[in-house]
Structure 1
């Protein structure tokens, strides 16, 4: 969505120059065509988001019958690092339970559903959600992931120390940051160096280029989560209602 917003701003900034270079009729047609193209692109992205949310909801309904009343919204539509050259990505959805009532409040348990895409998941034919791997996590699982990641990325190996730091801060590129300062710094590595921990039967966690990498064993895909996606996930799971 941000890319289309930027494209719209650039197009609008170029309108005066185009208007001077062309006659009024040609300039108007060019501007109208550009705006229509951007509008169509924005509409396509929004349509993809809606389809993704629908598919995520269907996944939850099919695989998690314990969730009977919940809200599901997109948290990050493209949560991978900008410079990540892989054909994979990760979409995250925020889920929160609530008690059924008139005008209910979202005050129940929070979860994040990670959708890891693989090569060919999107084409001119639309989205192929058969090429998506799903991973549902709660705040305890997220903390466990962040502790395992921080242990391989830093000198600190104490679970208790790391959990305490994470309870008051968040994982950023250079370490765990709390209260405006770096509490636990991560190692400084070259771009072609990797630190790996075998987290579970489903994934490995990788520290590389100050980034959280997730290697999916089933698909053998590696995706680097962007800093914003990591922070958004952490803040959603631990912020007060």
Structure 2
């Protein structure tokens, strides 16, 4: 938003001094209108973010009554435009518990909540959260998922070795890196090649073009977790 305001001031500075007042007024009106549209778009995304976090919180309270003090944040709306969010296939939330106190530290159990969206989850009436399928994942389950993902994306197949490497390392675009060393490189595939593993009764994992695809057996939807989200969620659990 600051950049938009700066752009307006720049525009005003460079309006030709010899232009008529009517022309200047038209230019200024157009600039203000553009800024208003930008502001409306930012406000709409922020409203969607608040609504998404509220709905995720409601789902968590209804389905996990044992969780009584927690922080919940989504990472998917940051820097996004409204049209980008309408095509999103999964919304990710970071959840961490804490002990209530004056100025408490956020140092309790970590979990992530994945909301898989179906076509039409955003329409002219807003967000239809009935078109979202939820999965709450703790550190142990996330580790199991990442072991399965790396096994399908690389030649490394030893579960114990993978678990140790994943706890110490970082998932990056081309593989798993421990410090500065690329410990497990991912397969290099062309865009029309897929490697599949049957992860659970609910999901299959698909590796393609250095990304994680998840096939939901119930809805038969194939969704993709963006690399940036995958990296951030892994770092959330294992902040090395």
TM-score range, shorter chain: 0.7 to 0.9
Deviation per CA, 1:184-214: give whole Å up to 9, x if none.
Answer: 0111111001001111111111100111111
Question: In structure 2, which of residues 7, 11, 22 is the aligned counterpart of residue 15 of structure 1?
Answer: 11
Aligned-partner Cα distance in 1 for 2:74–2:166 = 24
Aligned with 1:39: secondary structure?
Answer: helix
Say whether 1:125 aligns with 2:125. yes
Deviation per CA, 1:32-63: give whole Å up to 9, x if none.
Answer: 00000000000000000000000000000111
**Alignment RMSD (CA, Å):** 2.7
Instruction: State how many pairs are aligned.
Output: 232
Aligned-partner Cα distance in 1 for 2:226–2:50 = 22
Aligned with 1:33: secondary structure?
Answer: helix
**Which residue in the other structure is 1:155 paired with?**
155
Deviation per CA, 1:102-157: give whole Å up to 9, x if none.
Answer: 22211110111111111000012100000001111111111111100111111110
CA separation of 1:19/1:126 partners in 2, compared to 1, >3 Å: closer, same or farther? farther
Deviation at 1:76, TM superposition (A): 2.6
Unaligned 5+ segments in structure 2 are 79-83
Q: Counterparts of 1:209-228 in structure 2 under 5 Å? A: 209-228=209-228
Relative to the length of structure 1, the TM-score reads 0.87
Q: Contact between 1:147 and 1:162, CA under 8 Å: does it hold in 2? A: yes
Aligned with 1:23: secondary structure?
Answer: helix
Aligned with 2:119: secondary structure?
Answer: coil
- Larger deviation, residues 121-130 vs 216-225: 216-225
Say whether 1:229 aligns with 2:225. no
**Which residue in the other structure is 1:81 paired with?**
none
Segments of 4+ moved more than 2 angstroms: 8-22, 75-78
Say whether 1:181 aligns with 2:181. yes
- Larger deviation, residues 119-128 vs 211-220: 211-220
- Larger deviation, residues 142-151 vs 99-108: 99-108
- Larger deviation, residues 134-143 vs 88-97: 88-97
CA separation of 1:207/1:14 partners in 2, compared to 1, >3 Å: closer, same or farther? farther
- The higher-RCO structure (CA 8 Å, 6+ apart) is 1
CA separation of 1:101/1:48 partners in 2, compared to 1, >3 Å: closer, same or farther? same
Deviation at 1:16, TM superposition (A): 6.3
Relative to the length of structure 2, the TM-score reads 0.88
**Which residue in the other structure is 2:146 paired with?**
146
CA separation of 1:190/1:109 partners in 2, compared to 1, >3 Å: closer, same or farther? same
CA separation of 1:23/1:120 partners in 2, compared to 1, >3 Å: closer, same or farther? same
Q: Greater Rg, structure 1 or structure 2?
A: 2
Q: Contact between 1:88 and 1:119, CA under 8 Å: does it hold in 2? A: no
Q: Counterparts of 1:58-207 in structure 2 under 5 Å? A: 58-77=58-77, 87-207=87-207
